[in-house]
């Protein structure tokens, strides 16, 4: 594996060339989101989540996720929608500076980072920020969480973007990434006109939501009957 070549390419891509002028990256409207390749939220072709809405309510109760968290997530939307690109720069910079994470975006054939793959995922990642802040927890949302989990797992990884990258993301990094994602998000939440208490409540709502989503994404990794 030519470690340094793909590492440098990916870092450059993460902070520069992946920001394509004129591209719809994270449009908060349904029309804009539908133009993001591979973004299939609400599609009738998605498999139904094995977790029912009733079971999800119990999961929310377990992590102390309430209607107040929904309120503060939706408040965060007004702040974060103006900073999606900057947030992605931070997150991609983190991945690009850690070769063990960048590994999952590399080609199996030559070990180089796949810039097109990174760019495609970045667009959906931007929309994920808005979806999380939108805090809509219906059946369509639940189905899409299952789809996201499948795309991390060897079941469907690479298929959405038709790439030949490393074909499985090791489970341990799903929960591990919840911390850097939510921690680095807090300074962006403070960019609005909210006071410190409100910023903290928005941040706590994000921590809970990311935890819930990470749990749901883990389902394809868990032995049937054990989830």
Q: What is the mean pLDDT of each run of 10 residues along the chain (227 residues)?
A: 42 39 38 80 96 98 98 98 98 97 97 97 98 97 98 98 97 98 98 96 98 98 94
Q: Supply the pLDDT for residue 24.
A: 34
- Of 132, 147, 209, which Cα lies nearest the Cα of 178? 209
**Helix 67-80 × helix 178-189 angle, to 10°:** 70
- Of 223, 218, 206, 39, which Cα lies nearest the Cα of 134? 206
Which residues, 6+ apart, have CB-to-CB distance to 35 below 8 Å?
Answer: 24, 27
Q: Which CATH superfamily is domain 3-221 in?
A: Globins (1.10.490.10)
Residues 76 and 206: beta-carbon distance below 8 Å:
yes
Q: Supply the pLDDT for residue 88.
A: 98
Q: Supply the pLDDT for residue 23.
A: 31
Q: How many CA atoms lie less than 13 Å away from 191 in the CB half-sphere? A: 17
The pair of three-digit structure tokens given for residue 42, joined into one six-digit string? 């609400």
Three-state secondary structure call for residue 165:
strand
Please state the length of the chain.
Answer: 227
Task: Tell me the C-alpha distance between 96 and 180, whole Å.
Answer: 14
- Predicted TM-score (pTM) of the model is 0.86
Q: How many other C-beta atoms are found inside a 10 Å radius of the C-beta of residue 40?
A: 16
List b or e across 140-162, with b for residues whose CB sees 16 or more CB atoms inside 10 angstroms.
ebbbbbbbbbbbbbeebbbebbe
């Amino acid at each position: 594996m030519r470690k340094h070549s793909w590492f440098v390419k990916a870092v450059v891509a993460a902070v520069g060339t992946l920001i394509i002028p004129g591209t719809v990256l994270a449009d908060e409207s349904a029309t804009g989101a539908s133009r993001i390749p591979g973004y299939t939220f609400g599609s009738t072709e998605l498999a139904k989540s094995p977790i029912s809405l009733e079971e999800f309510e119990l999961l929310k109760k377990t992590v102390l996720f309430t209607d107040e968290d929904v309120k503060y997530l939706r408040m965060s939307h007004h702040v974060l929608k103006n900073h999606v690109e900057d947030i992605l720069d931070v997150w991609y910079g983190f991945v690009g500076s850690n070769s063990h994470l960048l590994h999952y975006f590399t080609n199996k054939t030559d070990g180089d980072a796949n810039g097109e793959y990174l760019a495609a995922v970045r667009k959906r990642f931007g929309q994920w920020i808005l979806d999380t802040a939108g805090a809509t927890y219906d059946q369509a949302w639940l189905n899409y969480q299952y789809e996201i989990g499948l795309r991390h797992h060897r079941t469907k990884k690479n298929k959405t973007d038709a790439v030949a990258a490393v074909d499985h993301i090791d489970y341990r990094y799903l929960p591990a990434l919840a911390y850097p994602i939510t921690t680095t998000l807090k300074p962006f939440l403070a960019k609005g006109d909210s006071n410190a208490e409100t910023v903290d409540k928005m941040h706590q709502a994000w921590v809970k939501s990311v935890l819930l989503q990470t749990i749901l994404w883990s389902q394809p990794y868990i032995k049937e009957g054990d989830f």
